[in-house]
Chain A
Amino acid sequence: MSTLKSLDPRINRLNIPAEFGTSFSKTEKDQFITYEVFVQPKVDKPYQHEGIVHAPSEEMAFLFAKEQFSRRGISCSGVWVINTSNVKVSPFTENQEDIYDYIHQEIIEEANLNDKVSYEVFHLMKRGKQHKHEGQLEARSYEEALWNAKNEYAGEKPVMNLWIAKAEDFLKIEGEDFADIWDTLPQKKYRDAIDYKATEKIKKFKAEQNS
C-alpha cells in the first residue's frame, strides 16, 4: 500500500527522528570556515546569537564579529565566537512541542564518556528569534550534556531548538579587561540610519521647490 507524502514544507520539515545523538553537526563550507557569533548586550543579560562571520581563525573571527555585530546598539559587554562545526544542533520542533520531550535517558546509555568538561547550552524559543544562552553545565559527553540540559533547563515553555557546545571551544572576549572597547558605543547613534532626521529638511526643500 502506498503512502501519500505531503508537499507542505511545514510538514516535511518535521522530520524529527525518534532518537538523536550527536550526528547533527552543521556541514562544512569550501571557503573560509564560519564562526557563530554571540553577543552580550549588557552584563546581566544572556548572550544571544547574532550571526555568522567567515574567518581564517577565531581571533580574526572576533575582529570581524565585533564590527559586524556590535558596532550599533545601545551597549555591548562581550562577544563569543565559535567555529560553526563545534556547535551541536538539535532538530527543530513545531506546534509548541518541546525538544526536551525527545531526549530520553537512553541517549546517555551508549555514549562514550570522556573527562567532565563544561558545555554552553542555547535555547531557541520561537522561529525567527535568536538562540539565547541558557546556562553552562558539566558533562562527560555531548549526549550527557543534552540529558543534563533536560534536567536543568526543561521548563513550562517549550524549546523548539537546542545548541550545545563545549565552553573551551569558544573564544570569549568579555569582562573587565575588554569592557572599554565598547565604551563609546552609546554615542555612535550616527551609525544608524534612523539617527538622520531628514523629514523636516525634505519638507522644507519641497516647499521651496513648489513655491
Chain B
Amino acid sequence: MTEEALKELLYKIADDQLILGHRNSEWTGVGPLLEEDIAFSSMAQDKVGHSLAFYNLLHELGEQEPDIVAFTRNADQFHNSQFVELPIGDYSFSLVRHFLYDHAELIRFNMLAECPIDEIADVAKKLKGEIKYHVMHANTWMKQLGKATEESHNKMQSALNEALPYALGMFETSEFENDLIEAGIYAGEAAIELKWKDNITMVLEESGLSLPSWNTIKPVYGGRKGKHTDHLQPLLDEMTEVFKEDPTADW
C-alpha cells in the first residue's frame, strides 16, 4: 500500500467531517427547540473537531498544516461526498442526512479502531464514543418524527427519498480500494455500505418509514474525485472568509 492510498482515505474522511460540520452549524441559533439547537450545534462542533484530528494525521504524513488544508483549497480539491455539501434544507432533511451519515461513520470508525496503523486506530478509538451519541441522537429523532404525526412522517419520508441517492455516494470507491483492504487498513467501502444498509433498515422499520428497493436508487458519485455540486464553493467562500482576511491571525 502506498502513502498516496492512505492519504486519499484520510482526506475523504476529514473533508466529509469538515463540510458536514460546517453545514450542520448553520442551524446554530435557529434550531427547532432550544435544547435541540444546543445538541445539534454541539455535534457539529464535534464533526469539525474530528476533521482536525484527521488533518493532523495527514500533516504527520507530510501534508500542510490543518488550517492551510482546510481553508485554502478550492472545491475541486475537496474529497467529500456530494451528500455532505448539500444545503441544510428543512430540519427533516438535516436530520435524515445526520442519520444516514452517522450510521456510516460509526461503522467506519469501528473498523479504523482495528487499523494496524496505531496513530489512526488511536484517533478512531478516541472519537467513536462521540459518534455513538450522534447515532443515538439520530435514531431517537427518526423514531420520534417517523411516527409522530402524518405531517412529520411525510416530511421524513420525502427527505429520506431525496437523500438516499446522495447517501450511497458516500461509498464511492477509490482507485486504491483493494490496496487498503489488502493492507488491512479497513474492510473497504463496499463492506461499510453492506453493514450500513442493515443498520439503517432496522431503525427505519421501527420509525415506520419505508425504504425503496436499493436497485432503484442510482448513487450520486463524483465527490471523492473532486466533482462537486454548485453548493460547495459558496460554502467554502463563507467558511474561509475570516481566515482569508488575515491568514496569520492568532485566534
> Is A67 an interface position by the 8 A CB rule?
yes
Cβ A181 vs Cβ B38 within 8 A: no
Cβ B130 vs Cβ A184 within 8 A: yes
Cβ B144 vs Cβ A56 within 8 A: yes
Cβ A60 vs Cβ B144 within 8 A: yes
Which one of B64-72, B85-93, B121-129, B221-229 is at the A interface?
B121-129
Which residues 14-64 in B have Cβ within 8 Å of A in the complex? Answer: 33-36, 38-39, 42
> Which residues of chain B are within 8 angstroms of A179 by Cβ–Cβ distance?
129
> Is A88 an interface position by the 8 A CB rule?
no
* A60 to B38 alpha-carbon distance, docked (Å): 13
> Is A25 an interface position by the 8 A CB rule?
no
> Is A64 an interface position by the 8 A CB rule?
yes
Shortest distance in angstroms between A147's beta carbon and chain B's nearest beta carbon?
37
Shortest distance in angstroms between B146's beta carbon and chain A's nearest beta carbon?
13
Shortest distance in angstroms between A91's beta carbon and chain B's nearest beta carbon?
30
Digit string of A171-211 for contact with B (CB within 8 Å is 1, else 0)?
A: 00000000111111000000000000000010000000000
Cβ A67 vs Cβ B127 within 8 A: no
> Which residues of chain A are within 8 angstroms of B144 by Cβ–Cβ distance?
56-57, 59-60
Cβ A183 vs Cβ B126 within 8 A: yes
Known contacts: A56-B144, A57-B144, A60-B144. The answer to whether A67 contacts B35 by CB under 8 A is yes
> Which residues of chain A are within 8 angstroms of B42 by Cβ–Cβ distance?
67, 71
> Which residues of chain B are within 8 angstroms of A63 by Cβ–Cβ distance?
36, 39, 136-137, 140-141
Cβ B36 vs Cβ A184 within 8 A: no
Cβ B38 vs Cβ A183 within 8 A: no
Closest to A63 in B: B137
Cβ B39 vs Cβ A183 within 8 A: no
Dominant SS among interface residues on chain B: helix
Which residues 11-36 in A have Cβ within 8 Å of B in the complex? Answer: 32
Cβ B33 vs Cβ A181 within 8 A: no
Q: In the complex, which of the residues A59, A67, A71, A180 contacts B132, with contact meaning CB atoms closer than 8 Å? A: A180
Cβ A68 vs Cβ B35 within 8 A: yes
Shortest distance in angstroms between B241's beta carbon and chain A's nearest beta carbon?
21
* A71 to B38 alpha-carbon distance, docked (Å): 10
How many A-B contacts are there with CB distance less than 8 Å?
55
> Which residues of chain A are within 8 angstroms of B36 by Cβ–Cβ distance?
63-64
* A66 to B130 alpha-carbon distance, docked (Å): 11
Digit string of B135-164 for contact with A (CB within 8 Å is 1, else 0)?
A: 011001101100010000000000000000
Cβ B39 vs Cβ A184 within 8 A: no
> Is B133 an interface position by the 8 A CB rule?
yes
> Which residues of chain A are within 8 angstroms of B33 by Cβ–Cβ distance?
32, 54, 64
* A181 to B34 alpha-carbon distance, docked (Å): 22
* A67 to B133 alpha-carbon distance, docked (Å): 10
> Which residues of chain A are within 8 angstroms of B141 by Cβ–Cβ distance?
60, 63
* A182 to B130 alpha-carbon distance, docked (Å): 7
Cβ A184 vs Cβ B126 within 8 A: yes
Which residues 47-86 in A have Cβ within 8 Å of B in the complex? Answer: 53-57, 59-60, 63-64, 66-68, 71
Cβ A183 vs Cβ B129 within 8 A: yes
Known contacts: A56-B144, A60-B144, A71-B42. The answer to whether A180 contacts B129 by CB under 8 A is yes
Additional pairs, 19, CB under 8 Å, beyond known A63-B140, A181-B132:
A57-B144, A59-B143, A59-B144, A60-B141, A63-B36, A63-B136, A63-B141, A64-B36, A66-B39, A67-B35, A179-B129, A180-B132, A181-B129, A181-B136, A182-B129, A183-B129, A183-B130, A184-B126, A184-B129
30 A-B interface contacts by CB (under 8 A): A54-B33, A54-B35, A57-B144, A59-B140, A63-B36, A63-B39, A63-B137, A64-B33, A64-B35, A64-B36, A64-B38, A66-B133, A68-B35, A68-B38, A71-B38, A71-B42, A179-B129, A180-B128, A180-B129, A180-B132, A181-B130, A181-B132, A181-B133, A181-B136, A182-B129, A183-B126, A183-B129, A184-B126, A184-B129, A184-B130
